[in-house]
């Protein structure tokens, strides 16, 4: 068999199972979540709303750390900047909902020059520098009287909604941004850039010598993650309509996104979503026990890091060979084209 | 114009000299071996050519183009492929995806063409039946083949092989040298660091010897191995005689 003959029938699929399964599952889930605020109690819709915000942030943190090796502990910078960009546009008279994409865009634009500072550093130095960026952003925003200074500012533009409609709007804002972020991440990871990111995740030096522009890929990921976290910040501002530096730039956002990504499994799309589910289940269960909540969360994170470094989803995938959102390449069949 | 030209290339790590005024040229289509004791600077020389190691002094030209300021990925795209002494597979990706990175990024191919080039590299190296296997589950021999396949998928004009026969059985070495000879026969220039002298002698038509970062011999393989300089720094009489007899 000649090479040309065999290659003419090369069949490369993107999934080991029928894409219909993923498609049908996605349609069912999307439909359910889209109508959830009208069929579930308000308290549960509120939990779901916060769950979606965490999914957005954890998905973005996973892109940074899980795929590109950038362990950012200052991602709250972009959560805060996203919230404040929304506040800025709302004060200017724009609807906070319309400001969400603009806030994301603003964070992406701010992230570009930041990469030229941060990418000079590696490892722990990079991580610490991201924290410095976050604190610097918080301090600068805290000095801007127009945005409420250190005490914060009420987000205008939502007063025309009645309380029930407002809850629905807040829910739908967080749900639609989470949907866009997860679908966007899925599309990105299925692209040529996704293949580069996966190779960087596994071995950066080899990726570079196989022709991958690692620094450019890393820069794109940093900007995308900044925009995504900015959108999360915008949704956060809409869901808690008082925007305050101490809350929006809180280190706890990064702690949560880190926890969810790590527990669920770094380097997979599904991991951060599974991790976010675990976080919220534990949070509801342990929230009433005060400090025990932190002890259990910390112990779980340490245990997973030691015994299951690929996370819960990694363990499930290895055991059952399942992929909900497949991004791989599978050579299915090869016949001679005689 | 030579394919690769090194002029007064030098490199230090602190006080340790790993490249000491190295000068040589490679013509297109040549198969050239590099021998030398451990710590002679062989792998560092590959790093200097591929861009993993920054040059300290001197000049490198590839097809007349200066490489000093060129990023490793750009060097790869311009035709320099390399393997690593300790294989560096993308362990969580499939064997096919490993070579696909090479064909999409190194050879800058898209869509079906990139798939074909990636699969062709697997066929050349005898890995096509393992295309869907996770690269992390491969044996040492398979990993070495994958290193070669990924470099081939970048469609190189110059292929840098770093001890690709190391740790393999005699039979495996024979298979691998057959593949490398066929790659060279298609016009790909080979620069091959190897301690398995038998493998080199069956493949290369020119041999370089490095010691303490300096080029101490350059010429016809058996003549280089027989030279006093090489005997002194590397082989010793007994190993040399065995190699010459085989």
What tens digit of pLDDT does each residue of A177-222 get?
A: 999 999 999 999 999 999 999 999 899 999 999 999 999 999 999 9
Is A88 inside any structural domain? yes
Closest chain A residue to B113 measured between Cα atoms? A7
* Confidence band for B15, pLDDT divided at 50, 70 and 90: confident
Residues in chain A: 338
Asked if A266 and A65 touch (Cβ cutoff 8 Å), the reply is yes
Q: What percent of chain B has pLDDT over 90?
A: 77
Q: What kind and span of H or E run contains B42?
A: helix B42-50
Q: Residue A110: give the domain boundaries.
A: 13-327
Say if residue B237's pLDDT is above 70: no
In this predicted structure, what is the pLDDT of residue A1?
Answer: 36
Q: Do A209 and B94 touch (CB under 8 A)?
A: no
**Which chain A residues contact residue B153 at CB under 8 A?**
210
Å from A317 to nearest chain B CA?
A: 12
Q: Do B73 and A329 touch (CB under 8 A)?
A: no
Closest chain B residue to A214 measured between Cα atoms? B73
| Predicted confidence (pLDDT) per residue in B115-137, tens digit | 999 999 999 999 999 999 999 99
Is A202 inside any structural domain? yes
| Predicted confidence (pLDDT) per residue in A24-66, tens digit | 888 999 999 999 999 999 889 999 999 999 999 999 999 999 8
Is A2 inside any structural domain? no
Q: Do B84 and A206 touch (CB under 8 A)?
A: yes
Secondary structure, 3-state, A169-226: HHHHHHHHHHHHHHHHHHHHHHCHHHHHHHHHHHCHHHHHHCCCCHHHHHHHHHHHHH
Q: Does B151 touch chain A (CB under 8 A)?
A: yes
In this predicted structure, what is the pLDDT of residue B103?
Answer: 97
CATH number at residue A258: 1.10.3470
Say if residue B219's pLDDT is above 50: yes
Mean pLDDT calculated for residue range B92-110: 95
The rounded mean pLDDT for chain A is: 90
CA–CA gap between residue B240 and residue B225 (Å, rounded): 7
Is A311 inside any structural domain? yes
The reply to whether CATH 3.40.50.300 applies to domain B4-79+157-245 is: yes
CA–CA gap between residue B45 and residue B232 (Å, rounded): 21
Question: Which contacts (CB < 8 Å, 24+ apart) does range B36-42 have?
Answer: B36/B209, B36/B210, B36/B211, B36/B233, B36/B234, B37/B211, B37/B233, B37/B234, B39/B212, B40/B210, B40/B211, B40/B212, B40/B213, B40/B233, B41/B11, B41/B17, B41/B210, B41/B212, B41/B213, B42/B162, B42/B193, B42/B210
| Predicted confidence (pLDDT) per residue in A306-318, tens digit | 998 889 998 888 8
Question: For chain B, what are the domain ranges?
Answer: 4-79+157-245, 94-155
Say if residue A284's pLDDT is above 90: no
Q: What percent of chain A has pLDDT over 70?
A: 96
CA–CA gap between residue A65 and residue A56 (Å, rounded): 14
Mean pLDDT calculated for residue range A83-102: 95
Q: Where are the alpha helices (DSSP H) in chain A?
A: 3-7, 19-39, 42-61, 68, 76-91, 96-118, 123-142, 163-190, 192-202, 204-209, 214-239, 245-248, 251-264, 270-286, 292-307, 311-320
In this complex, the residue of A208, A210, A267 whose CB is nearest that of residue B92 is: A267
Please give the DSSP secondary-structure letter assigned to residue B94: B
In this predicted structure, what is the pLDDT of residue A122?
Answer: 87
Say if residue A338's pLDDT is above 50: no
Q: Do A10 and B89 touch (CB under 8 A)?
A: no
The rounded mean pLDDT for chain B is: 92
Query: What is the number of domains present in chain A?
Result: 1
In this predicted structure, what is the pLDDT of residue A289?
Answer: 81
Is A8 inside any structural domain? no
| Predicted confidence (pLDDT) per residue in A138-188, tens digit | 999 999 999 999 899 999 988 888 888 999 999 999 999 999 999 999 999
Q: Do A331 and B119 touch (CB under 8 A)?
A: yes
CA–CA gap between residue A15 and residue A327 (Å, rounded): 7
Q: Does B97 touch chain A (CB under 8 A)?
A: yes
Please give the DSSP secondary-structure letter assigned to residue B134: B
Q: Does A329 touch chain B (CB under 8 A)?
A: yes
Say if residue A3's pLDDT is above 50: no
């Amino acid at each position: 068999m000649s090479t040309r003959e065999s290659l003419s029938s090369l069949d490369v699929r993107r999934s080991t199972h029928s894409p219909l399964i993923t498609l049908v599952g996605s349609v069912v889930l999307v439909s359910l979540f889209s109508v959830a605020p009208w069929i579930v109690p308000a308290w549960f819709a509120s939990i779901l709303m916060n769950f979606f915000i965490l999914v957005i942030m954890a998905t973005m943190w996973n892109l940074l750390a899980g795929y590109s090796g950038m362990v950012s502990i200052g991602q709250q910078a972009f959560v805060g900047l996203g919230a404040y960009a929304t506040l800025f546009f709302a004060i200017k008279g724009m609807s906070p909902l319309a400001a969400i994409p603009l806030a994301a865009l603003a964070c992406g634009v701010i992230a570009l020059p930041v990469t030229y500072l941060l990418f000079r550093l590696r490892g722990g130095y990079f991580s610490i520098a991201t924290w410095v960026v976050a604190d610097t952003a918080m301090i600068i925003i805290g000095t801007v009287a127009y945005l409420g200074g250190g005490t914060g500012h009420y987000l205008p533009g939502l007063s025309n909604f009645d309380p029930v409609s407002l809850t629905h709007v807040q829910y739908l804002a967080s749900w639609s941004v989470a949907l866009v972020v997860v679908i966007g991440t899925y599309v990105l990871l299925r692209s040529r850039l996704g293949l580069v990111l996966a190779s960087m995740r596994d071995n950066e030096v080899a990726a570079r010598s196989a022709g991958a522009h690692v620094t450019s890929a890393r820069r794109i990921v940093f900007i995308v993650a900044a925009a995504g976290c900015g959108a999360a910040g915008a949704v956060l501002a809409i869901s808690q309509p008082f925007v305050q530096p101490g809350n929006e730039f809180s280190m706890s956002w990064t702690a949560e996104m880190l926890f969810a990504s790590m527990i669920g499994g770094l380097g997979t799309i599904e991991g951060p979503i599974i991790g976010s589910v675990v976080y919220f289940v534990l949070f509801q269960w342990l929230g009433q026990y005060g400090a025990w909540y932190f002890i259990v969360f910390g112990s779980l994170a340490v245990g997973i890091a030691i015994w299951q470094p690929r996370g819960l989803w990694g363990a499930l995938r290895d055991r059952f060979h399942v992929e909900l959102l497949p991004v791989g390449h599978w050579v299915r069949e090869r016949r001679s084209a005689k | 114009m030579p394919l690769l030209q090194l002029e007064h290339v030098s490199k230090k790590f602190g006080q340790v000299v790993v490249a000491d005024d190295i000068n040589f040229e490679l013509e297109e289509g040549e198969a050239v071996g590099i021998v030398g004791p451990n710590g002679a600077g062989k792998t560092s020389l590959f790093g200097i050519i591929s861009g993993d190691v920054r040059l300290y002094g001197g000049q490198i030209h590839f097809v007349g183009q200066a490489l000093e300021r060129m990023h490793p990925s750009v060097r790869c795209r311009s035709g320099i492929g390399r393997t690593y002494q300790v294989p560096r597979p993308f362990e969580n990706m499939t064997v096919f995806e490993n070579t696909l990175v090479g064909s999409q990024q190194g050879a800058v191919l898209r869509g079906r063409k990139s798939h074909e080039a990636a699969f062709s590299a697997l066929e050349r190296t005898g890995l096509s039946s393992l295309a869907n296997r996770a690269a992390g589950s491969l044996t040492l021999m398979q990993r070495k083949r994958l290193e070669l396949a990924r470099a081939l998928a970048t469609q190189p004009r110059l292929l840098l092989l770093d001890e690709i026969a190391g740790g393999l059985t005699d039979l495996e070495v024979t298979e691998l040298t057959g593949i490398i000879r066929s790659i060279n026969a298609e016009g790909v220039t080979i620069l091959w660091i190897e301690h398995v002298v038998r493998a080199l002698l069956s493949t290369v038509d020119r041999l370089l010897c490095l010691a303490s970062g300096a080029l101490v011999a350059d010429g016809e393989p058996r003549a280089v191995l027989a030279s006093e300089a090489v005997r002194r720094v590397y082989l010793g009489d007994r190993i040399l005689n065995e190699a010459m007899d085989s």
